[in-house]
Amino acid sequence: MLVLAEVTQFESLVGVNPWTALFTFCNMIITFLLLKKFLFKPVKKMIDARQKEIDDMYRDAEASRQEAARLQADYEEHLSSARAERDEILADAVSRARKREQEIIADAKNDAAAIRTKAEADIAQEKKKALNEVKNEISSISISIAQEVVEREITASDHERLVSEFIGKLGEAND
Amino acid sequence: MEVNGPKIYLRINGMNVITQTTVASFVVMVLLCTAGYFLGRNLKKRPGRMQVLTEKGVAMLYNLVEDTMGKHNAYWTPYIGALFLSSIGGSLIGMTGILRSATSDVSTTITWALMTSFLVWGCTIKNSGLKNFLKGYINPLNIVSDIAQPVSMAFRHFGNIMGGGVLMSILYTGLAGLSSLVVGAVRSNGWVVTGVTALAGAALLFLGFKKRKMMFKIFGAVFAGIAAAAALELLGVFGEIPILEVGIPAVLSLYFDIFSGGIQALVFSLLTMVYVGMACPPPTSQK
């Protein structure tokens, strides 16, 4: 210790050494430049990049959320309009079906009436025909019978006239 | 005990070219740059632990600068950060015991303070023109203030760190004296007193641990230490053992070296930020 103390010299406690100042200045500048290049710039860049990424992600998420909300609103609107349309179509179909039903029923009634009328006419016709046939049959049978019985007392034509008059009166009384 | 300035390592033509301060500031620079290089390397989007800490520190510095100087002055952060780190490193380097704190030399602090002043003057000229800069000195008090500003900054920083160092060395000297006095008294009375002291220390330590009393533990440790030192001296293993220098200075060193160094670094950087920030007003006010 003593040996060292003899050799070692000290600067005054309070004093400015220009060399020290110069070295300090240089060291400060070097520290500043190196720290800026190797520490502050890259770290700040990284922080900013991450911040930007996070911001972008949030913005994207917000955009997607809004898009989703918009889509949902659209969808709901479509759905409700589809529902309305469906109701309309249904109501239309029901009313048309009712109308058609009425038409079909009316047609059926008309047809039935027509068929009945025709059938009645046919029946009347057939009846008339049958009556005529029966008349003819009866008259011819009566003539032959009368011929058998009377043996030419009156002519065949007189006889037939008489019988048909009789049957005509008979038919009128029947109606 | 004597309080000296930095040791002189190299003299050329009567000029003290390399001193302890030069070496200390060089070491601090190398340490900071190495640390910065390794911390700023391999940065990833998904950071590891070290990167989180680094980013936190850098972000804190950026926030500090932005809060003090405004958002438009955020580009000053690397300089302020370098200044802050150099200052705190320069103060803490003295704790190694080999090197002397770079900041307890006025040469260092006045250089930094003058750098701040030149930055302020440069910014003023750049932002408001040479004419307005010179116009400011119509009031001669501004000249005084411009001289006083770096001087006060430099001496505040220097004085706090140097004062802390001086106090610590005074404390060490005082404790060494006290220690030699106490241990000498114990030793000169022979093995009996040494043994009694050791017993008292052991008893106090035992009580301290049993009753969980900090005071008992401390005093027990002190007695035991004194007894051990006296015993070692009696055996002739060592000469004088300044046993009382253990422990007590650590508490005060916490304040004078670490806390004071941090505070002064912060104060120096804050003052730099404020002065430079005033010289660089927000761009909107220029319109």
Q: What is the pLDDT of residues B149-179, one digit of tens each?
A: 999 999 999 999 888 888 888 888 888 888 7
Q: Is the pLDDT of residue A3 over 50?
A: no
Tally of structural domains, chain B: 1
- How far is C-alpha B161 from the chain's CA centre? 6
Domain count, chain A: 1
Which pLDDT score is estimated for B285?
A: 52
The answer to whether position A109 is within a domain reads yes
Among A16, A23, A50, beta carbon nearest to B45:
A50
Classify residue B267: in a domain, yes or no: yes
Chain B positions touching A4 (Cβ under 8 A) are none
B23 belongs to a structural domain: yes
pLDDT > 50? residue A2:
no
Identify whether B27 is part of a domain. yes
Q: What is the residue range of A80's domain? A: 45-174
ipTM of the complex model: 0.79
Closest chain A C-alpha to B264 CA, distance in angstroms? 17
Q: Is residue B199 part of a domain?
A: no
Query: CB of B11 within 8 A of CB of A13?
Result: no
Who among A18, A32, A44 is closest to B82 (CB)?
A32
What is the model's pTM? 0.70
Residue B182 lies in a domain: no
List pLDDT tens digits, range B13-65.
777 778 888 888 888 899 989 988 888 888 787 778 888 888 888 899 899 89
Quick check: is A10 in a domain? Answer: no
DSSP string, chain B: -----PEEEEEETTEEEEEHHHHHHHHHHHHHHHHHHHHTSS--SS--HHHHHHHHHHHHHHHHHHHHH-GGGGGGHHHHHHHHHHHHHHHHGGGGSSSPPGGGSHHHHHHHHHHHHHHHHHHHHHHHHHHHHHHGGGSTHHHHHHHHHHHHHHHHHHHHHHHHHHHHHHHHHHHHHHHHHHHHHHHHTHHHHHHHHHHHHHHHHHHHHHHT-HHHHHHHHHHHHHHHHHHHHHHTS-S---GGGSSHHHHHHIIIIIIHHHHHHHHHHHHHHHHHHHHS--GGGG-
Which backbone phi and psi does B10 adopt, to 5 degrees?
-140, 125
pLDDT of A19-50, one tens digit each? 888 888 888 899 889 888 888 888 888 888 88
User: Bridge partners of A9?
Assistant: B8
Domain presence at residue A19:
no
Evaluate whether residue A40 is within a structural domain. no
A156 pLDDT higher than 80 = no
> Would residue B121 count as lying in a domain?
yes
What secondary structure, in 3-state letters, does B214-241 show?
A: HHHHHHHHHHHHHHHHHHHHHHCCCCCC
Q: Do A49 and B45 touch (CB under 8 A)?
A: yes
Would you call B4 and A10 a contact, using CB atoms and an 8 Å cutoff?
yes
Query: Tens-of-pLDDT digits for all 287 residues of chain B?
Result: 567 777 787 777 777 778 888 888 888 899 989 988 888 888 787 778 888 888 888 899 899 899 888 888 888 889 998 999 999 998 888 888 778 888 888 888 999 999 999 999 998 888 888 888 888 888 888 889 889 999 999 999 999 988 888 888 888 888 888 877 777 777 777 777 777 778 888 888 788 778 777 777 777 888 888 777 777 777 766 666 676 777 777 778 888 888 888 999 999 999 999 998 888 888 765 44
Q: Within 10 A of A60 (CB to CB), how many other CB atoms are there?
A: 10
Q: Are the beta carbons of A12 and B45 separated by less than 8 Å?
A: no
Question: Which domain does B42 fall in, by range?
Answer: 8-174+247-286
Provide, as residue numbers in chain B, all residues whose Cβ is less than 8 Å from the Cβ of A27: 25-26, 28-29, 86
> Which of B7, B85, B162 faces A10 most closely, judged by CB atoms?
B7
Of B5, B102, B112, the CB nearest to A11: B5
Question: Has residue A1 got a pLDDT over 60?
Answer: no
3-state DSSP assignment of residue B16: strand
